[in-house]
Structure 1
Amino acid sequence: MLIKKGLSKAIDSRFASTATRKPTVSQGNPFQIEVGLVFGGDLQAEGPIEILRFTNRVPLMYQQGGCLLTKALESVDWKRYGLDHPGGRGLPKGPAAVLIHLASTNVQFTSEAKEAVADNEEVFEEVRRAMLEVGRGLRNHLKKSSQRKKAQEKFDLINIILPEISRKTSQLLGREEPDLAPVITRIMNAVFLEDEIGWDKHSNQAVCSLTIYNYTARARAYTILAKWPEGEGVAIAENPRGGRKETTGLWAWRLDTLDPGQSAEIRFTVSGLSKGDWTDAEIFFRGNGDIIGATKIDEKLLDEMRKMEALALAEAEYAAATMNESIQRLVERTPVLETSGESLVVSSDESVVEPSNESQRMINNPEDLRQWTPAEEVNE
């Protein structure tokens, strides 16, 4: 999220996608890959995309072509994700910029100058997987934008032409103008979803609003799913429609009936974020028929996400239980000393220690210990 926020501030763009891979190990050295991609805005559409390379937060300024991070980016077929990639070689072209960060306890460079990362199969694969992840986000964004643009053009055209036809025809026939809503619905024959993410400065919360329009001839029923930045200290604050949690960072609402020509709104707020942390929503759906502006949920991928979440939770519970058992065994093995009258009694009843009269007097009067303590120790 910090990468997305930083990129959005540094580069004026319309879309930002980030990916953080889980820490892994190569040749005994732990490392982690972070990737961010921004698209559109003031970025130049002509020429190769811009690459920002970092290792342990230090920028790499030279030898871009010989760097492992660049090679991993070039290995992706960016045509599948909406960028121009002639021949599938070299850097893709388009209004985009990519940030790649390698964090490791021991980064392997090509030379002592530390200008480029040396070849490493494990690091290469992790960077490539992160690239594929942000690429999928870009592809979904471009697809959704294209669908919305075409639908909006069609809708605007219909709303310009049909009223004129209706008005002229009514004048010729001497009749009242008919209600055009059912006609527009039959012509459009689609369900639209518009999403908007704003910021409420009074409550310091992100506000997500989803509006679904049914421009078809029959009633529809859908389950709408929204991806939100769930994390430590981040939670859904207001959610009038309720719904349920599908998995980490994915919330679902059921729309049982959406009549023809009608619309429904889903609105919820998220606390624990700063302004600009969450700017783009990923919306999915279940149900018959497509929704322009949303993607049909991949149930297999969702099941896999649930299994991974359940496995991580089970591992955490097992680790906590093992820790508690170890502490309990340690406590049981450690004898506890208790004072009882004239003697110090060991709770395990293995032995009884009888203190001398002088020792007992010092226990009752700790200040008397000073006369038995060397002066230099007292000063310390």
Structure 2
Amino acid sequence: DSRFASTATREPQVTQGNPFQVEVGLVFGGDLNADSPIEILRFANRVPLMYQQGGCLLTKALESVDWKRYGLEQPGGRGIPKGPAAVLVHLASTNVQFTSEAKEAVAANEEVLEEIRRALLEVGRGLKNHLKKSSQRKKAQEKFELINVILPEISKKSSQLLGREEPDLAPVITQIMNAVFCEEELGWDKERKLATCEITVFNYTARARAYTILAKWPESDSVAMKENPMGGRKEAHGLWAWRLDTLNPGASATISFSLSGLGRGDWGDTDIFFRGNGDIIGATKIDEKLLEELRNREALRAAEEEVRSKDDPVIDGLAERAEDPLQDPAREKIFDMGSLAPDQEVVE
């Protein structure tokens, strides 16, 4: 359950007369340990390489990258970096050169190393942009929360001193912030034994906005969405979407839903995504490619389950019918067409 994922696939190349292709994937955040070296997953022709990590070309390519530029700790600028990340490197080739017959590590090759390095730089740039945006969102979120606390207090005290009604602060916050914010709050309804979620989107910009808000929820056979006033639709397993057609300047919209089948404290975190123009502080723009890949995998799993669970009358009992062909009604009709004697002619 990572917070960020990036992949890169290089174009096929040729080295020493053998074609090869490099694929790299990087995940960051989530439950990964931030105080230990990153996890390295090495593959050659889809086979995992479990041993001799230090002597492998795939590891050396990773160590050659200056990961400090991309947000990971790397003392000395070389070696395996530290941070909450995992990197997968896959080398596909018609002839992978290994260091030994045990095939535990890939042998040195400058052309292959350079291709792996370029792929790592590509996913590294994606990580750098992600961390930069996360930092900007965090600062803007702190500013937003500070303004939401201080301005109402100033307004309240000033109104009491002057004996006037409190003014509408939305236009003031709009001028100061000029951004769209999203806040989520998870709770527990102890009377109905339901886990609750409220997502509020604030439009503190000078023009109307339209978004699709998506939220992750722990969907399973025992957990179901109980209340969902805004409806929406299912985007993928554990991912629900709601459409906000018009969010006027200074206005806010709240999405609420509840889940059954959970206990108190079972649901402590969720991820909010969005579709639309302009960033939302507190939410992440959905990666449509990853979402489509997720849907394809779900469709494939569903098809496999259907094939496994479907009773095919033709296949069912095939072995028994093979022992005695006349037990098959369809074949009985064929064998029950009579026979011709050697001296019998066919009359048309």
Q: TM-score range by the shorter chain?
A: 0.5 to 0.7
Measured in 2, the distance between the counterparts of 1:250 and 1:140 equals 21
Question: Which position in structure 2 is the counterpart of 1:348?
Answer: 334
1:258 Cα deviation after fit: 3.4
Matched with 1:222 is: 211
Alpha-carbon separation, structure 2, partners of 1:201 and 1:127: 53
Mapped partners of 2:227, 2:143: distance in 1: 33
**Which residue does 2:166 correspond to in 1?**
178
Q: What code does the residue aligned with 1:192 have?
A: F
CA gap 1:158/1:212 in 2 versus in 1, 3 angstroms: closer
In 1, distance between residues paired with 2:65 and 2:190?
41
What is the SS of the residue equivalent to 1:194?
Answer: strand
- Any stretches of 5+ residues in structure 1 without a counterpart? 5-14, 22-26, 340-344, 353-380
Distance between the aligned counterparts of 1:238 and 1:245, measured in 2?
A: 14
Task: Letter of the 1:179 partner, please give it.
Answer: P
Which amino acid is the alignment partner of residue 95 of structure 1?
G
**1:327-350 per-position Cα deviation (integer Å, ceiling 9, x unaligned):** 59x89x9774259xxxxx954235
Shift of 1:285: 1.9
CA 1:175–1:209: 2 relative to 1, 3 Å: closer
TM-score, length-normalised on structure 2?
0.54
Deviation of 1:292 after TM superposition, in Å, equals 1.5
Cα 1:209–1:122 change in 2 (3 A) is farther
What CA distance in whole angstroms lies between the structure 2 residues aligned with 1:110 and 1:131?
25
1:252 aligns with 2:252: no
Do structure 1's residue 149 and structure 2's residue 135 form an aligned pair? no
- TM-superposed deviation, 1:219: 4.7
> What root-mean-square deviation, in Å, do the aligned CA atoms of Structure 1 and Structure 2 show?
6.3
- Which structure's residues are more often helix, by fraction? 1
What SS class does the counterpart of residue 337 from structure 1 fall into?
A: helix
Cα distance 1:238–1:147, how it changes in 2: closer, same or farther (>3 A)?
Answer: same
Q: Are the structure 2 counterparts of residues 326 and 40 from structure 1 closer, same or farther at C-alpha, using a change threshold of 3 Å?
A: closer
Give the distance between the partners of 1:280 and 1:134, measured in 2 at CA.
26
Q: TM-score, normalised by structure 1?
A: 0.51
Aligned residues: 305
Is 1:194–2:183 an aligned residue pair? yes
1:256 aligned partner, one-letter code: D
Match in the other structure for 2:274 = 284
Q: Answer with 1 or 2: which has the greater Rg.
A: 1
| CA apart distance, 1:283 | 0.7
- Matching of residues 39-50 of structure 1 within 5 Å: 43-44=34-35, 49-50=37-38
CA–CA distance in structure 2, aligned partners of residues 190 and 266 of structure 1: 22
**Structure 2 residue identity aligned to 1:147:** R
Distance 2:186 2:125 in 1: 22
**Paired amino acid for 1:70:** T
* Structure 1 residues 277 and 118: alpha-carbon distance in aligned structure 2, compared to 1, 3 A threshold: farther
Q: Matched residue of 1:348: which SS?
A: helix
What displacement does 1:67 show? 1.9
Tell me the percent identity: 38
